[in-house]
Chains A and B, each alone.
Chain A
Amino acid sequence: GAVVSQHPSWVICKSGTSVKIECRSLDFQATTMFWYRQFPKQSLMLMATSNEGSKATYEQGVEKDKFLINHASLTLSTLTVTSAHPEDSSFYICSARGLAGMQFFGPGTRLTVL
Protein backbone atom coordinates (compact mmCIF):
# COMPACT_ATOMS: atom_id res chain seq x y z
CA GLY A 1 0.00 0.00 0.00
CA ALA A 2 0.88 3.64 -0.31
CA VAL A 3 2.82 5.38 2.46
CA VAL A 4 1.54 8.25 4.54
CA SER A 5 3.82 9.84 7.12
CA GLN A 6 3.13 12.13 10.05
CA HIS A 7 5.43 14.40 11.99
CA PRO A 8 5.94 14.53 14.86
CA SER A 9 4.98 11.10 16.13
CA TRP A 10 4.43 12.56 19.56
CA VAL A 11 4.47 16.01 21.12
CA ILE A 12 4.09 17.43 24.59
CA CYS A 13 3.20 21.09 24.96
CA LYS A 14 2.07 23.57 27.56
CA SER A 15 -1.51 24.73 27.77
CA GLY A 16 -2.15 27.77 25.61
CA THR A 17 0.48 27.03 23.00
CA SER A 18 -0.12 25.97 19.40
CA VAL A 19 1.02 22.73 17.85
CA LYS A 20 1.42 21.92 14.17
CA ILE A 21 1.20 18.36 12.84
CA GLU A 22 2.32 17.52 9.31
CA CYS A 23 0.91 14.78 7.11
CA ARG A 24 2.62 13.74 3.90
CA SER A 25 1.76 11.26 1.18
CA LEU A 26 5.17 9.90 0.20
CA ASP A 27 4.58 8.02 -3.01
CA PHE A 28 1.30 9.30 -4.40
CA GLN A 29 -0.57 12.53 -4.86
CA ALA A 30 -3.38 13.01 -2.38
CA THR A 31 -6.29 14.87 -3.85
CA THR A 32 -8.11 14.63 -0.55
CA MET A 33 -6.77 14.43 2.99
CA PHE A 34 -8.63 13.69 6.19
CA TRP A 35 -7.91 14.37 9.84
CA TYR A 36 -9.18 12.08 12.56
CA ARG A 37 -8.94 12.17 16.33
CA GLN A 38 -8.98 9.17 18.63
CA PHE A 39 -9.40 9.24 22.39
CA PRO A 40 -8.28 6.27 24.53
CA LYS A 41 -10.35 3.13 24.00
CA GLN A 42 -12.54 4.89 21.46
CA SER A 43 -12.84 4.72 17.70
CA LEU A 44 -11.54 7.24 15.20
CA MET A 45 -13.63 10.36 14.82
CA LEU A 46 -13.45 12.30 11.58
CA MET A 47 -12.62 15.95 12.21
CA ALA A 48 -12.32 17.43 8.75
CA THR A 49 -11.83 16.80 5.06
CA SER A 50 -9.60 18.91 2.87
CA ASN A 51 -9.00 19.07 -0.84
CA GLU A 52 -5.78 20.50 -2.23
CA GLY A 53 -6.05 24.24 -2.62
CA SER A 54 -9.47 24.48 -0.98
CA LYS A 55 -10.73 25.26 2.48
CA ALA A 56 -11.29 22.30 4.73
CA THR A 57 -14.76 21.03 5.49
CA TYR A 58 -15.23 20.41 9.19
CA GLU A 59 -17.48 17.84 10.82
CA GLN A 60 -20.22 19.03 13.11
CA GLY A 61 -18.91 20.03 16.51
CA VAL A 62 -15.31 20.57 15.38
CA GLU A 63 -14.14 24.17 15.82
CA LYS A 64 -12.51 25.36 12.62
CA ASP A 65 -10.77 28.26 14.36
CA LYS A 66 -9.18 25.91 16.85
CA PHE A 67 -8.12 23.21 14.42
CA LEU A 68 -6.56 24.96 11.44
CA ILE A 69 -6.06 22.79 8.41
CA ASN A 70 -3.92 23.67 5.41
CA HIS A 71 -3.67 21.49 2.31
CA ALA A 72 -1.28 23.53 0.23
CA SER A 73 0.02 20.79 -2.03
CA LEU A 74 -0.93 17.34 -3.28
CA THR A 75 1.45 15.73 -0.82
CA LEU A 76 1.21 17.83 2.31
CA SER A 77 -1.50 18.76 4.78
CA THR A 78 -1.02 20.35 8.16
CA LEU A 79 -3.21 20.46 11.25
CA THR A 80 -2.54 23.21 13.76
CA VAL A 81 -4.12 22.91 17.19
CA THR A 82 -4.32 26.49 18.41
CA SER A 83 -4.31 27.46 22.07
CA ALA A 84 -4.16 23.83 23.08
CA HIS A 85 -5.73 22.72 26.34
CA PRO A 86 -5.51 19.42 28.22
CA GLU A 87 -8.81 18.27 26.75
CA ASP A 88 -7.18 18.45 23.30
CA SER A 89 -4.80 15.69 24.30
CA SER A 90 -5.50 12.87 21.90
CA PHE A 91 -4.16 10.70 19.09
CA TYR A 92 -4.41 12.60 15.81
CA ILE A 93 -4.37 10.55 12.62
CA CYS A 94 -4.30 11.80 9.07
CA SER A 95 -5.39 9.96 5.98
CA ALA A 96 -4.76 10.57 2.31
CA ARG A 97 -6.74 9.54 -0.73
CA GLY A 98 -5.36 9.56 -4.22
CA LEU A 99 -6.89 9.53 -7.67
CA ALA A 100 -7.44 5.78 -7.53
CA GLY A 101 -9.80 6.32 -4.62
CA MET A 102 -7.87 4.33 -2.08
CA GLN A 103 -7.43 5.87 1.36
CA PHE A 104 -4.34 5.26 3.46
CA PHE A 105 -3.61 6.33 7.01
CA GLY A 106 -0.61 7.84 8.70
CA PRO A 107 0.91 6.38 11.87
CA GLY A 108 -0.66 9.02 14.09
CA THR A 109 0.59 11.78 16.36
CA ARG A 110 0.17 11.57 20.12
CA LEU A 111 -0.51 15.04 21.54
CA THR A 112 -0.26 15.63 25.27
CA VAL A 113 -1.14 19.08 26.60
CA LEU A 114 0.05 19.81 30.11
Chain B
Amino acid sequence: DAKTTQPTSMDCAEGRAANLPCNHSTISGNEYVYWYRQIHSQGPQYIIHGLKNNETNEMASLIITEDRKSSTLILPHATLRDTAVYYCIVRVTQGGSEKLVFGKGMKLTVNP
Protein backbone atom coordinates (compact mmCIF):
# COMPACT_ATOMS: atom_id res chain seq x y z
CA ASP B 1 0.00 0.00 0.00
CA ALA B 2 1.08 3.56 -0.69
CA LYS B 3 2.37 5.46 2.33
CA THR B 4 1.18 8.84 1.10
CA THR B 5 -2.09 10.76 0.95
CA GLN B 6 -2.85 13.62 -1.40
CA PRO B 7 -5.89 15.71 -2.21
CA THR B 8 -7.89 14.29 -5.09
CA SER B 9 -7.61 17.37 -7.24
CA MET B 10 -6.52 20.99 -7.36
CA ASP B 11 -6.92 23.91 -9.74
CA CYS B 12 -4.35 26.59 -10.40
CA ALA B 13 -4.27 29.69 -12.57
CA GLU B 14 -1.70 29.82 -15.34
CA GLY B 15 1.38 31.78 -14.31
CA ARG B 16 0.75 31.36 -10.60
CA ALA B 17 2.63 29.07 -8.25
CA ALA B 18 1.07 25.65 -7.69
CA ASN B 19 1.61 24.18 -4.22
CA LEU B 20 0.87 20.47 -4.11
CA PRO B 21 0.67 18.97 -0.61
CA CYS B 22 1.41 15.41 0.44
CA ASN B 23 1.17 13.63 3.78
CA HIS B 24 3.50 10.75 4.63
CA SER B 25 3.19 10.47 8.39
CA THR B 26 4.53 6.90 8.56
CA ILE B 27 7.70 7.59 6.63
CA SER B 28 10.83 5.98 8.01
CA GLY B 29 14.09 7.78 8.59
CA ASN B 30 15.86 6.53 5.48
CA GLU B 31 12.95 6.62 3.04
CA TYR B 32 12.99 9.16 0.25
CA VAL B 33 10.01 11.14 -1.03
CA TYR B 34 9.64 11.12 -4.81
CA TRP B 35 7.38 13.16 -7.05
CA TYR B 36 6.33 12.03 -10.51
CA ARG B 37 3.64 13.29 -12.81
CA GLN B 38 1.65 11.58 -15.52
CA ILE B 39 0.13 13.33 -18.46
CA HIS B 40 -2.75 11.46 -20.01
CA SER B 41 -1.77 8.20 -21.74
CA GLN B 42 1.94 8.67 -21.11
CA GLY B 43 4.42 7.11 -18.72
CA PRO B 44 5.18 8.92 -15.45
CA GLN B 45 7.78 11.69 -15.60
CA TYR B 46 10.28 12.17 -12.78
CA ILE B 47 10.09 15.60 -11.14
CA ILE B 48 12.15 15.67 -7.96
CA HIS B 49 13.00 13.72 -4.83
CA GLY B 50 14.35 14.40 -1.36
CA LEU B 51 15.15 12.93 2.01
CA LYS B 52 15.00 15.73 4.56
CA ASN B 53 16.46 18.86 3.02
CA ASN B 54 14.54 21.09 0.66
CA GLU B 55 15.40 20.48 -2.96
CA THR B 56 15.12 22.55 -6.12
CA ASN B 57 15.68 21.75 -9.77
CA GLU B 58 14.68 23.23 -13.09
CA MET B 59 11.17 21.82 -12.80
CA ALA B 60 10.13 22.36 -9.21
CA SER B 61 10.98 22.79 -5.56
CA LEU B 62 10.34 20.26 -2.82
CA ILE B 63 9.75 21.44 0.71
CA ILE B 64 9.88 18.72 3.38
CA THR B 65 8.76 19.50 6.92
CA GLU B 66 11.26 19.08 9.70
CA ASP B 67 9.43 16.05 11.10
CA ARG B 68 9.29 14.63 7.54
CA LYS B 69 5.62 13.80 7.89
CA SER B 70 4.59 15.96 4.98
CA SER B 71 5.97 17.72 1.96
CA THR B 72 4.94 20.25 -0.67
CA LEU B 73 5.83 20.28 -4.32
CA ILE B 74 5.99 23.79 -5.73
CA LEU B 75 5.69 24.57 -9.41
CA PRO B 76 6.76 28.22 -9.39
CA HIS B 77 5.00 29.37 -12.55
CA ALA B 78 2.39 26.88 -13.66
CA THR B 79 1.67 26.51 -17.36
CA LEU B 80 -1.12 24.72 -19.18
CA ARG B 81 1.32 21.90 -19.93
CA ASP B 82 1.65 21.24 -16.21
CA THR B 83 -1.88 19.84 -16.16
CA ALA B 84 -1.36 16.23 -15.09
CA VAL B 85 -1.80 13.72 -12.28
CA TYR B 86 0.93 14.25 -9.70
CA TYR B 87 2.11 11.36 -7.58
CA CYS B 88 3.87 11.77 -4.26
CA ILE B 89 5.61 8.48 -3.47
CA VAL B 90 7.66 7.15 -0.61
CA ARG B 91 10.05 4.54 -1.92
CA VAL B 92 9.63 1.50 0.27
CA THR B 93 11.59 -1.66 0.81
CA GLN B 94 9.45 -4.75 0.44
CA GLY B 95 10.66 -8.29 0.06
CA GLY B 96 14.23 -7.11 0.07
CA SER B 97 13.89 -4.69 -2.82
CA GLU B 98 13.11 -1.00 -3.07
CA LYS B 99 9.92 -0.14 -4.93
CA LEU B 100 7.85 2.84 -5.96
CA VAL B 101 4.28 2.06 -4.92
CA PHE B 102 1.86 4.51 -6.50
CA GLY B 103 -1.14 5.92 -4.66
CA LYS B 104 -4.07 7.59 -6.36
CA GLY B 105 -2.23 10.82 -7.02
CA MET B 106 -3.67 14.31 -7.39
CA LYS B 107 -5.08 15.81 -10.57
CA LEU B 108 -3.73 19.31 -11.11
CA THR B 109 -5.60 21.41 -13.63
CA VAL B 110 -3.95 24.63 -14.75
CA ASN B 111 -6.52 27.07 -16.06
CA PRO B 112 -5.91 29.89 -18.54
- Report the contact-size class of chain A (Cβ under 8 Å from the partner): 20 to 34
Binary contact track A1-18/B, C-beta < 8 Å → 1, others 0: 100101000000000000
B24 CB to nearest A CB, Å: 16
Give chain A residues whose Cβ lies under 8 Å from the Cβ of B42. 107-108
Number of interface residues of B (CB under 8 A): 19
Contact check, B44 vs A105: say whether CB atoms are below 8 A apart: yes
Kindly identify which residue among B41, B95, B99, B102 contacts A43, using a CB–CB cutoff of 8 Å.
B102
Known contacts A43-B103, A45-B102, A46-B101; A57/B95 CB under 8 A: yes
Contact check, B102 vs A95: say whether CB atoms are below 8 A apart: no
Binary contact track B73-99/A, C-beta < 8 Å → 1, others 0: 000000000000001000000010101
In whole angstroms, what is the CA distance A6 to B42 when docked? 11
Known contacts A43-B103, A45-B102; A105/B43 CB under 8 A: yes
Contact check, A57 vs B97: say whether CB atoms are below 8 A apart: yes
In whole angstroms, what is the CA distance A102 to B34 when docked? 10
A28 at the interface (CB under 8 A from B): no
Kindly identify which residue among B43, B95, B97, B104 contacts A93, using a CB–CB cutoff of 8 Å.
B43
Contact check, A44 vs B44: say whether CB atoms are below 8 A apart: yes
Give chain A residues whose Cβ lies under 8 Å from the Cβ of B97. 32, 49, 57
Given contacts A102-B46, A103-B34, 9 further A-B contacts (CB under 8 A): A1-B45, A43-B102, A46-B99, A93-B44, A95-B100, A104-B46, A106-B43, A107-B42, A108-B42
Q: Which residues of A contact B (CB under 8 A)?
A: 1, 4, 6, 32, 34, 36, 43-46, 49, 57, 91, 93, 95, 102-108, 110
Q: Which 9 A-B pairs have the closest CB atoms?
A: A105-B43, A44-B102, A105-B44, A43-B102, A107-B43, A108-B43, A93-B43, A106-B43, A43-B104
